[in-house]
Structure 1
């Protein structure tokens, strides 16, 4: 006859439902950035996002233009003040392309202002091969030689890695700036604005308003070419 084993059971010891261990601590002076690949980088509170990106991606195969932080698009000049999740935005992303084109337009406007201060440039519409069609007022259509000078000046500014500043100014100040420059359409639109301030970007002393984010400096804008198109 087979022997029978005595019945048995697992006993789980009772744990006292006492309070969790909590102790006072000093405020942390650093903030952590966690990237999608699991890597975590730490720096003093207030460090710009660009510094984290450069540390995590010293030689990216595609330029990193901005980032998604906790599901929101942010510029590289954004200050990190608490722990966040970050997903880089590159030129392979639609948001990255828009930021790059917008910044490149500003670079071109600044170069033209320095070489031909009487000329006013208007970015009209996009073209199929990925650029913008621009019109010039106050100056005859640029010749091929003049376009070459403008492109060369743009590349000089890129080589300098000139910073693109950002400031919030009272709306009245912004309207006065554009009135002085004769930009009547922009003034008309700003007078309808509900907010009492406006964000302006600046590059080499030229200030302007743009609908969207920019790169932090001209050094990011290495890929471009200027081409004449009819009617000039």
Structure 2
């Protein structure tokens, strides 16, 4: 059998696991591999000639496997120490996981977290083998029932297949809805520490080249996530089975959609009150957030909210200040970096914003994306007490608005914040939600295939880490653009696109991962979604278009 690795051919007289192949090549820090383009665990054994690419700590798919295994081992450690205590994992601030315990006889303290940490280290040091096994749905229900994992039994009722994969390690059984490392010893690094109401788990990140980033406590975001948790309790809709209960009947679906939309309305009202109470000082409202957060619709809804309070904001597009491809900074490969702040005419933008605030008349530029050149736009004069609204990737970047004093700026960071779960041990990442939104929107409005969108996604993510996340601490308000019902609506739009990606395509890994949890959602009809909903920005039919 011939394996082609890094352009070199290696011949083996008998099949070996990828783990043994890596060991034979004296390769270190391997976490997973692709075999002929398909993601595989290191326990996988190729049985024919194949192209193999080993994945390390700087690869997002490899880190996803690492994180799943870490959650598995932490849940296992807790089961060993406190068999009756349940643990729930939530994605949290500073790219970490918050673990919350239920059923503990005492208040969680640093000593208990230390005990859990020591048990995790013991399991890692033993390098225990993690084995995948396939069982029938009936057998899985019996296993989960014996383990008291009712949350996992609930999701099985929506599984299309008549079997389920489980992972077993030293008689501990669980499933993390993803691939796993071959043994506990592959867990190289992590951090645990007490953080109310549970404990924080940090792990290596691909975007930090396999290092654990510094933990930054973010009170504004922490407060937003607390509201998310409170919301989940109010609607009893923080897991897929609970959401599916709302999709059983149209009347229930209508109520559910309207509840979620009203949550957005409440946030807008709160924002309107904050801005109105300080309107004598606020001259510029900046709105920024990662891709597919709903910035455009949100900006319009905020404009309408302020109009109801007698405030008449003016919306100005940052995109009109692009310099053009020829004048943009260059990426390492020589291509124009259109997401760089210096791809904008920063000097002119500062000049125009300050001039407007000072009561001058300004001829705004207009960037013609067909010709790739800037033209003269319309002439405006800002009425007294009318704030300017700007939205975009650099809206909170101080460099872009350095001529305007900070006390005259009100910064809003918008992003979907969710604590939605497949089950207690498997939270759904907000990045996955944003990617699904973008897939649906790009196909709807740009005639782009899922493959086109997935091709662009790594570049989009790099821009977010470079330009958006570092400025989020400037925010005066975090707007949670998540709508708990939206997966049930996005499903029918996204699934056909994802299913069209063939097994031999480079994006099959991502498509398969998204399909794995999307298939558990029951659908909710588009016509229930209000015309001014942020979701309409992605599925179409927005009253603001």
Structure number with the bigger relative contact order (C-alpha 8 A, sep ≥ 6) is: 1
Shift of 1:159: 1.1
Structure 2: unaligned runs, 5 residues or longer = 199-545
State the 1:147 CA deviation: 1.1
CA deviations on 1:77-121 (whole Å, 9 max, x unpaired) are 111111100111111111011100000011111111111112111
CA contact (8 A) 2:133 2:166 kept: yes
Call closer, same or farther: CA 1:34–1:151 in 2, change over 3 Å. same
CA drift of 1:59 comes to 4.7
Residue 93 of structure 1: which of 59, 70, 76 is its match?
59
Which structure 2 residues correspond to residues 94-113 of structure 1 after superposition, within 5 A?
94-113=60-79
- For residue 141 of structure 1, report the CA deviation from its aligned partner: 4.4
For 2:91 and 2:23, the matched residues in 1 are separated by 31
**Cα distance between partner residues in 1 of 2:169 and 2:143:** 15
Retained in 2: the 8 A contact 1:33–1:83?
A: yes
Instruction: Show the counterpart of 1:166.
Output: 132
| Counterpart selection for 2:96 from 117, 127, 131 | 131
Say which one has the larger Rg. Answer: 1
Separation (CA, whole Å) in 1 of partners of 2:197 and 2:65: 28
In proportion to residue count, which structure has more strand? 1
1:118 aligns with 2:87: no
Structural mapping, 1:15-94, within 5 Å? 31-36=1-6, 38-56=7-25, 58-60=26-28, 63-94=29-60
Kindly indicate whether residue 219 of structure 2 is the aligned counterpart of residue 219 of structure 1: no
- Does residue 152 of structure 1 match 2:121? no
Give the Å deviation of 1:48: 0.8
Stretches (4+) displaced over 4 A: none
- Offset from partner CA, 1:137-163 (integer Å, 9 cap, x none): 111443211111111111111111111
Matching residue of 1:187: 153
Q: CA deviation at 1:184?
A: 2.5
Distance (Å, rounded) in 1 between the aligned partners of 2:3 and 2:165: 27
Residue 180 of structure 1: CA displacement?
2.8
- Provide the aligned C-alpha RMSD in A: 1.5
Shift of residue 181 of structure 1?
A: 3.0
CA shift for structure 1 position 33: 1.2
Find the aligned partners of 1:44 and 1:117 in 2 and give their Cα distance: 46
**1:178 is matched with which residue: 137, 141, 144?**
144
Please identify, of 125-134 and 171-180, the stretch whose mean Cα deviation from structure 2 is larger: 125-134
The alignment covers a number of residue pairs equal to 197
The 1-side partners of 2:181 and 2:49 are apart by 23
TM (normalized to structure 1)?
Answer: 0.80
Structure that is richer in helix per residue? 2
How far did 1:176 drift?
A: 1.5
| 1:209 Cα deviation after fit | 1.5
The separation in 1 between residues aligned to 2:107 and 2:24, in whole angstroms, is 45
Distance, in Å, in 2 between the alignment partners of 1:81 and 1:40 is 15
Deviates more, 1:189-198 or 1:70-79: 189-198
For the 8 Å contact 1:101–1:131, the answer to whether it is kept is: no
Aligned to 1:102, what secondary structure does the other structure show? helix
Secondary structure class of the residue paired with 1:108: helix
